[in-house]
């Protein structure tokens, strides 16, 4: 009789989404549940770590129950359990880790600690047929990185941000403009009615010979223009949003072009296979950014692969999948949650200030 495909329960709780998913090794997503804390944090204009940890604690059991119910399964159908072990807000990561370890111990099944960034990095392989190695632009609220994904646990980082992440820039600028939280979708919506050429904003590091990013100066420039134009009540918010969106997209496209050259040098295409560029993380759902990167990919002969929105923003299916990618790894029961957990610990930091891992 054919062996039954492995069924993985995944748990994600590193930021402001409490999520549980059930994914099979054959890539069937049986359930992908997300309880968002956006309404809770919107009152504060951003994520408050202590509030987030308490909310994860309150919601996690129900989210897992919902995942099992929607999959038409019981705990007896689960073969292994995975949870985000970092990087992220430590209170939330601890809630997910302890829950997963408890399930693993009670059911006597394997437990996997998953790097949240690896969840994003491998998500295109759940949604699409993408072979290793590929070039990844990871753009989320906490990270903006360009990496070669060589295999599970094998990453070469070409660039990272010297200060704010792209999603963080969207969030902080939206807050300054009074557009609410989370900022990315709010800026994208406001930008629809705006003229992207109306307000001059800088493109930090554009044209520089490395693959790093910097968004803090852009955020300051926007804040200055906003106040010159009379603040959030008087300024043309649609024009500001459109101008900001193209500036961020321009920086992402320029730095990605630089990384493509490095990737092709390190991994020359074999047997006529087309190289692949993947964009993952919440910012990858932005349509203007997608269009810009599609142009860059076409011009450099890359195929662009972007997971569907539900797998791009934080979710537990990508956590379950990252564990399924390394099923044979040793059990992680001794693992302790990590607030910082770089994908490529060997990567040299960019010049300048503190570096995000």
Residues 205-244: x where in contact with ligand KG4 by CB under 6 A, - otherwise, as a string: ----------------------------------------
* Between 267 and 290, CB nearer to Zn ion: 290
Residue with tokens 């980082």: 157
Residues 184 to 203 in contact with ligand KG4, rule: CB under 6 A: 184-185, 188
Phi, psi torsion values for 115, nearest 5 degrees = -75, 125
Residues 101-140: x where in contact with ligand KG4 by CB under 6 A, - otherwise, as a string: ---------------------------------------x
Cα–Cα dist 126/152, whole Å: 13
Residues 117 to 146 in contact with Zn ion, rule: CB under 5 A: 140
Mapped onto helix, strand or coil, the DSSP state of residue 195 is coil
* Between 84 and 99, CB nearer to ligand KG4: 84
Residues 308 to 337 in contact with Zn ion, rule: CB under 5 A: 314
Does 33 bind ligand KG4 (CB under 6 A)? Our answer is no
Lookup: tokens for 327:
């099923």
Give the full edge-to-edge strand order of the sheet including 7-12. 29-36, 17-24, 7-12, 80-86, 111-115
Does 21 bind ligand KG4 (CB under 6 A)? Our answer is no
Least distance (Å) between residue 252 CB and ligand KG4: 11
For residue 233, what is the enclosing H or E element? helix 231-234
Lookup: tokens for 114:
């998953």
Instruction: Pick one of 12, 33, 163, 171: the residue that binds ligand KG4 (CB under 6 A).
Output: 171
Neighbours of 355 (CB within 10 A): 16
Residues 289 to 348 in contact with ligand KG4, rule: CB under 6 A: 313-314
* Between 215 and 302, CB nearer to Zn ion: 215
* Contacts of 226-235 spanning 24+ positions with Cβ under 8 A: 226/176, 226/177, 232/176, 232/177, 232/178, 233/178, 235/177
Cα–Cα dist 12/10, whole Å: 7
Structure letter (DSSP) for residue 109: -
Instruction: Name the site residues for ligand KG4 (rule: CB under 6 A).
Output: 15, 140-142, 167, 170-171, 182-185, 188, 281-283, 285-286, 313-314
């Amino acid at each position: 009789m054919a062996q039954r495909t492995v069924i993985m329960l995944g748990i994600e709780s590193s930021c402001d989404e409490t999520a549980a998913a059930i994914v099979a090794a054959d890539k069937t997503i049986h359930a992908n549940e997300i309880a968002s804390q956006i309404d809770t944090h919107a009152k504060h204009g951003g994520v408050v770590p202590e509030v987030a940890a308490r909310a994860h604690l309150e919601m996690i059991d129900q989210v897992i129950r919902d995942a099992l119910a929607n999959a038409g399964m019981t705990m007896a159908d689960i073969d292994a359990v995975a949870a985000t072990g970092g990087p992220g807000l430590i209170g939330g990561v601890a809630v997910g880790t302890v829950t997963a370890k408890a399930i693993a111990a009670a059911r006597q099944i394997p437990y996997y600690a998953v790097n949240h960034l690896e969840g994003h990095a491998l998500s295109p392989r759940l949604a699409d047929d993408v072979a290793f190695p590929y070039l990844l632009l990871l753009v989320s609220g906490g990270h903006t990185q360009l990496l070669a994904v060589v295999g599970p646990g094998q990453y070469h980082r070409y660039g990272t941000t010297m200060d704010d992440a792209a999603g963080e820039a969207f969030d902080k600028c939206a807050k300054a403009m009074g557009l609410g939280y989370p900022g990315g979708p709010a800026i994208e919506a406001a930008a629809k009615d705006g003229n992207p050429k109306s307000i001059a904003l800088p493109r930090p590091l554009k044209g520089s010979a490395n693959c790093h990013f910097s968004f803090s100066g852009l955020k300051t420039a926007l804040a200055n223009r906003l106040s010159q134009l009379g603040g959030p009540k008087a300024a043309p918010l649609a024009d500001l949003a459109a101008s900001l969106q193209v500036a961020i997209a321009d920086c992402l496209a320029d730095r990605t072009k630089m990384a493509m050259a490095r990737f092709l040098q390190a991994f020359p295409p074999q047997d006529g296979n087309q190289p692949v560029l993947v964009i993952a993380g919440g910012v990858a759902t932005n349509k203007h950014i997608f269009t810009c990167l599609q142009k860059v990919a076409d011009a450099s002969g890359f195929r662009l692969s972007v997971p569907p929105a539900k797998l791009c923003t934080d979710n537990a299916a990508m956590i379950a999948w990252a564990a399924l990618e390394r099923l044979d790894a040793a059990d992680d029961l001794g693992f302790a949650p990590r607030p910082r957990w770089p994908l490529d610990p060997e990567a040299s930091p960019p010049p300048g200030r503190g570096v995000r891992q």
